[in-house]
Amino acid sequence: MATNILMPALSPTMEEGKLAKWLVKEGDTVKSGTILAEIETDKATMEFEAVDEGKIGKILVAEGTEGVKVNSPIAVLLDEGEKADAVPAAKHDIPAAMKDIGAAVKAEVAPKADAPKAAAPAVAAAPKTDGTRVFASPLARRIAADKGIDISALAGTGPRGRIVKSDVENAKPGAAKPVAGAPAAAGGGIPGVAPLPDARLLYPAGSYEETPHDSMRKAIAKRLTSAKTLIPHYYLTVDCNLTALMAVREKMNAAAPKDKDKKPAYKLSVNDFIMKASAMALMKHPDVNASWTDTAILRHKDADVGVAVALDFGLITPIIFKAQTKGLVEISNEVKLLAGLAKEKKLKPNQYEGGGFSVSNLGMYGIKSFTSIINPPQSCIIAVGAGEDRAIVVNGKIEIANVMTVTMSADHRVVDGGTGAKFLATLKQFIEEPASMLL
């Protein structure tokens, strides 16, 4: 009997993905473990294996298709003896709501065929009684008609102010009309906060090029907006004297064994020391090494420290697990390995999900100081700036020292201000006196 091959959930948070590439074709015989396709999630590109044996009867989703929902059919597997012509024609199902939104955006941003070349985008819509137009999805119109709601009285929260199903379902008698002349909304979502206008309404047609959002950019936008909106951030900043650390780093790198080509076995960076110092500080302050849930605070037993890796197509934070148990060389090598996998989109979910703390370092770009957005379910992240020569006062005298600014963003639900300050003081000590990490 023919069975459907379903879009897999390659991580606990995956809801949809891109079918990047098929590695089999119709008519191929496969067995358990055969690599069927490459699936691109918001974080990585991963291989998808067959779990049953049989013959690929029909491919339902073409490679390159984005937004394929988890558990939706992507191909049909035939049992021995079954024929491909017995498989009914099928195609990738896109939810009606997605079709509606996609059609709306396409219609709204595309100029009319008979419009002048520089004309602004237009969309067909039913006129209001006052002669202006109302933009609404067909489903929203049907619900409004059934409920006896004047759809022209509603403010839309869909693309470019389009009235969608939820607007009608949540409508109350006497709902206020949009203010005349106000810009159309790009989408709401935060109670009591007016949605931002779609930027396309603010620029002349032809003055920009559109780059469609890929799955990673969509996930970053959704995750960071949620984190910044829902997590009560506060910030603490310290300056760290790197003089001792730089001296230790120079000695350790000079002592690195070399191969026949005189290439050193390792090259420690300042960030490797910061990762280790963070891990050791977390073990001394378990209240910081924690995550928030609605019913409890989770205090982690190990220091799992994430390191932010900037990519051409986004950002990802692979994790050094049990960093408190690892030496500087091991941490350095692991960071380089994970960064390489990240840039190739080959990280696995168990290499970037979870963790209790993150380090984001922009010092290599000359950034002096900045703040970072917390990466949930973690409760803290430090933003590390560039080390630079600054004048400092030592025993009443002005001296020059290599100083680095570190700013911690903390979740106030988990980490109180005093607790965060004590943690940062310990981190500063470990950075300024690297030997103290051995105590």
Look at residue 239 and give its three-state secondary structure: strand
CA angle 95, 39, 189 (to 5 degrees): 45
Look at residue 246 and give its three-state secondary structure: helix
Please tell me what DSSP assigns to residue 258: B
The answer to whether the Cα torsion of 149, 151, 156, 162 is positive or negative is positive
In contact, 195 and 185? CB cutoff 8 Å:
yes
Look-up of token digits 């730089």:
246
Beta-sheet pairing, 29-30 with 3-6: unpaired
Beta-sheet pairing, 397-411 with 388-394: antiparallel
Rounded-to-integer distance, Cα 392 and Cα 126, Å:
69
- Rounded to a whole number of angstroms, the CA Rg of the chain reads 28
Q: Which two tokens stand for residue 351?
A: 């290499």
Under 8 Å CB-to-CB from 94, ≥6 apart: which residues?
67, 102
Rounded-to-integer distance, Cα 419 and Cα 428, Å:
14
Rounded-to-integer distance, Cα 281 and Cα 428, Å:
9
Q: Residue 43 is which amino acid?
A: K
Catalytic residue among 213, 233, 285, 412: 412
Among candidate residues 244, 259, 287, the one with its CA nearest the CA of residue 416 = 287
Q: Which two tokens stand for residue 154?
A: 């509603």
Our answer to whether residue 412 is catalytic in this structure is yes
Packed helices 417-432 and 270-284: angle between N→C axes, nearest 10 degrees? 130
Give 40's strand partners: 18, 45
Indicate the burial class of 78 (C-beta count within 10 angstroms; 0-12, 13-18, 19 or more).
Answer: buried
Among candidate residues 422, 417, 409, the one with its CA nearest the CA of residue 380 = 409
Catalytically active residues, by annotation: 412
